[in-house]
Amino acid sequence: MQKERISILGCGWLGLPLAQEFIGAGYRVKGSTTRAEKLEGLKAAGIEPFRIVLGEAAEGDLEGFLDSEVLIVNIPPGRGEEAVGVHVEQISRLIDALAGSPVEKVLFVSSTSVYPPLNREVFEQDASDPDAAEGFGGRALLYVEDMLRSETAFRTTVVRFSGLIGHDRNPARYLLRMKELADPEQPMNLIHRDDCIGIISAIISQGKWGEVYNASCELHPKRKEFYEVAAESLGVELPSAAAPAPPKPFKTVGSRKLVESLGYRFLHPDPLDVAREGR
């Protein structure tokens, strides 16, 4: 049986190794970048490359790029106040293009910033009010999630990743620039890139469409604990704790639905193991 064609909108830090994973599994993969100088690198990785920019007008061969059965949308919003309007416009333009395409299924890469800090574990149903999301980026993502999930021409699954770590992106490295350790008692919500790839692959291979999943490491060390381990691993001193202040609201992200629905076992369940590796 021939495998579905997959298009990945955004082949950067996560999208590129994700594309390579699918290619290794026998899928035909199209990938996009906004920068022309990166096209050759995508081609060298076995990806059919496209330069796609969703600006005031769509730039690039969007019709050709969307000639697939599955689309993975992996373009994060900005952080400023303008992020909400810009991201909504980007996805509106994409939805218009999807209307005449063969795409039947969309996987939208979102973030756990859609949740407010409720001083408890948060689950998929706890993100309902964009105005309560964490920052402008979280607000933009929740608006866009609702836009995609309300479409009937295709089925959308949303996966909400926590803070991305692993390979060359490890919060332990922030120690080298940290002057003081703020919020030492705050729990951390993190996920390794290997698990992001494994989770997306499981969703597509198992056909889990029309769903929303949290995706975060099963353990949530406190900031002080994480950075103590990282400092020891890197052989540097732990920065002094910031002056005492009233505790900030927090959240821990629960991934129970993902584990039960997909039967997924995390490759890196404990962020402290990543901190010990120093990478």
pLDDT tens digit sequence for 169-227: 877 677 878 889 989 999 999 999 999 999 999 999 999 999 999 999 999 999 999 99
Let me know if residue 87 belongs to a domain: yes
Average pLDDT over residues 254-277: 95
pLDDT above 70 as % of the chain: 98
Domain count across the chain: 1
The tens digit of pLDDT for each residue in 174-190 reads 787 888 998 999 999 99
Assign 3-class secondary structure to 12-36: CCCHHHHHHHHHHCCCEEEEEECCH
pLDDT digits (tens, 9 = 90+) for 67-103: 999 999 999 998 888 889 999 999 999 999 999 899 9
pLDDT greater than 70 at residue 22? yes
- Between CA 82 and CA 84 the distance in angstroms is 6
Q: Is 181 a domain residue?
A: no
Task: Provide the residue range defining the domain that includes 154.
Answer: 76-171+189-227+251-271
Classify residue 46: in a domain, yes or no: no
Q: Answer yes or no: is 18 within a domain.
A: no
> What's residue 172's pLDDT?
67
Contact yes or no for 155/209 (Cβ under 8 A): yes
> Does 146 fall in a domain?
yes
CA-nearest of 134, 190, 201, 136 to 165 is: 190
Cα-only R_g, the chain: 19
Q: The domain that contains 142 carries what CATH number?
A: 3.40.50.720
In a domain, residue 56? The reply is no
Report the mean per-residue pLDDT for the chain: 94
Question: Which pLDDT does position 175 carry in this prediction?
Answer: 81
Q: Is residue 42 part of a domain?
A: no
Burial category of 20 from C-beta neighbours within 10 Å (exposed 0-12, middle 13-18, buried 19 and up):
middle
Q: Is 108 a domain residue?
A: yes
pTM: 0.95
Q: pLDDT tens digits for 134-174?
A: 999 999 999 999 999 999 999 999 999 999 999 988 776 77
What integer is the mean pLDDT of 253-275? 96
Burial 62-80 (b: 16+ CB within 10 A, else e): beebbebebbbbbbbbeee
